[in-house]
């Protein structure tokens, strides 16, 4: 059985294997983005025995915000009260990211949902602060929600062909998406010439990045474009098959250019509501290239983004 941090994936070869429950940690603070996160969770067709824990954090030295946090918890409880699942509210005290990570580490959710921007910008609970810290430190899937929230009609799965990508696809295959959601599997290929130019242009400063290996030997230039496209088609076919086994239809799209830029542009153009991506990618030079994608998605995506984190032993590339 594949393993995600905090989440055991069902056996994809067993079609009768179902997710019996889903444990969600929902962080709220009364902001518009937190309200969008609450509405998104409310829209998920969760399995009957699922559990939602609503979390509020009072920052150190900011006790005056405690009443507002309690009101935010009550508001979320009211919205989620319509769902036939168990809910509870927990008020934490301390630095927001640290408290959410520690609580998650203790209780191991299948998903943590947070708003991209918090209510109190002066406390640095905002995009690039809380959201990025949680995405980078959490050992479980994290969904960063943005406004305006219009439902989950169009979902984009970013596929790069890595082991992490396969596990991300398996997670999405069992994720409780609304039945009307459309899934598009996108493989963005960095232009080969651009990748090699970027690496070799480093010249003498390459020693500053010893962990970044040199690119492997390439086939003849005349064959590179077709080989690259063929590789992309294979990645799409394998990823779509994982979704198909779970009963999800999907479309496959190949884009060319910087992966993060292409995914962001395509998502905005097509009105994507949710981008799904692994937080780790391929190894070697390709992994280094893809390694910055998740961080760029946190900062620049116009849609909500679901980051799926896997156990390190599952992402060791041979």
Residue 317 lies in a domain: no
Residue 76 lies in a domain: yes
Q: Could you tell me which residues are beta bridge partners of residue 158?
A: 186
pLDDT at 280: 62
* Domain's final residue, options 145, 180, 206: 145
pLDDT at 316: 45
Angle at CA 261, nearest 5°, toward 260 and 266?
100
Are 176 and 116 contained in the same domain?
Answer: no
* Domain's final residue, options 145, 172, 193: 145
Are 13 and 51 contained in the same domain?
Answer: yes
The DSSP string of 224-284 is HHHHHHHHHHHHHHHHHHHHHHTT--EEEEEEES-HHHHHHHHHHHHT-SEEEEES---SH
Rg (CA), the chain: 20
Are 102 and 130 contained in the same domain?
Answer: yes
Residue 238's nearest CA partner among 180, 168, 306, 190 is 168
Range of the domain at 121: 3-145
Token pair 């961080």: residue: 295
Are 127 and 162 contained in the same domain?
Answer: no
Are 132 and 166 contained in the same domain?
Answer: no
Residues of the chain short of pLDDT 70, as ranges, are 1-19, 119-128, 192-224, 280-292, 310-318
279: domain CATH number is 3.40.50.620
**Cβ–Cβ under 8 Å, residues 28 and 76:** yes
Are 159 and 137 contained in the same domain?
Answer: no
Are 204 and 244 contained in the same domain?
Answer: yes
> pLDDT of 69-94, one tens digit each?
999 999 999 999 878 789 999 999 99
Cα 3 to Cα 32, 240, 305, 313, distances in angstroms: 34, 20, 21, 9
Q: Give me the number of domains the chain comprises.
A: 2
Residue 131 lies in a domain: yes
**Cβ–Cβ under 8 Å, residues 125 and 152:** no
Burial of residue 159 (number of CB atoms within 10 Å: 0-12, 13-18, 19+): buried
Are 115 and 181 contained in the same domain?
Answer: no
Residue 308 lies in a domain: no
Residue 10 lies in a domain: yes
Are 233 and 121 contained in the same domain?
Answer: no
pLDDT at 35: 94
Cα 51 to Cα 22, 26, 136, 211, distances in angstroms: 6, 11, 24, 41
pLDDT at 246: 93
Residue 310 lies in a domain: no
pLDDT at 6: 47
**Cβ–Cβ under 8 Å, residues 195 and 215:** yes
pTM (2 d.p.): 0.81
Helix (H, G, I), strand (E, B) or coil at 188: strand
* Domain's final residue, options 145, 176, 195: 145
Burial of residue 245 (number of CB atoms within 10 Å: 0-12, 13-18, 19+): middle
Cα 79 to Cα 37, 71, 83, 151, 255, distances in angstroms: 11, 13, 8, 15, 39
């Amino acid at each position: 059985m594949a393993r995600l941090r905090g989440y055991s994936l069902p056996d994809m070869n067993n079609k009768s294997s179902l997710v019996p429950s889903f444990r969600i940690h929902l962080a709220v603070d009364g902001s518009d983005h937190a309200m969008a996160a609450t509405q998104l969770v409310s829209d998920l067709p969760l399995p009957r025995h699922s559990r939602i824990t609503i979390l509020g954090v009072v920052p150190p030295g900011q006790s005056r915000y405690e009443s507002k946090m309690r009101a935010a918890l009550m508001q979320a409880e009211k919205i989620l009260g319509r769902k036939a699942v168990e809910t509870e509210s927990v008020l934490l005290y301390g630095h927001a990211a640290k408290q959410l990570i520690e609580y998650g580490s203790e209780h191991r959710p299948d998903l943590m949902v947070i708003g991209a921007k918090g209510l109190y910008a002066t406390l640095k609970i905002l995009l690039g602060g809380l959201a990025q810290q949680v995405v980078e430190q959490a050992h479980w899937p994290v969904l960063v929600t943005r406004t305006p929230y219009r439902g989950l009609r169009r979902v984009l799965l970013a596929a790069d062909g890595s082991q992490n990508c396969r596990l991300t696809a398996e997670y999405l295959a069992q994720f409780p998406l609304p039945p009307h959601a459309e899934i598009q599997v996108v493989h963005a290929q960095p232009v080969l010439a651009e990748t090699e130019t970027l690496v070799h242009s480093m010249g003498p400063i390459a020693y500053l990045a010893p962990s970044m290996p040199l690119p492997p030997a390439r086939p003849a230039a005349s064959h590179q474009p077709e080989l690259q496209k063929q590789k992309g088609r294979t990645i799409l076919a394998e990823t779509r098959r994982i979704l198909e086994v779970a009963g999800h239809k999907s479309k496959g799209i190949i884009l060319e250019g910087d992966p993060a830029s292409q995914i962001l542009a395509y998502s905005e153009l097509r009105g994507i509501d949710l981008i799904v991506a692994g937080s780790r990618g391929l190894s070697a030079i390709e992994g280094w290239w893809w390694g910055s994608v998740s961080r760029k998605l946190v900062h620049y995506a116009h849609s909500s983004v679901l980051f799926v984190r896997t156990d390190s032993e599952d992402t060791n590339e041979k």
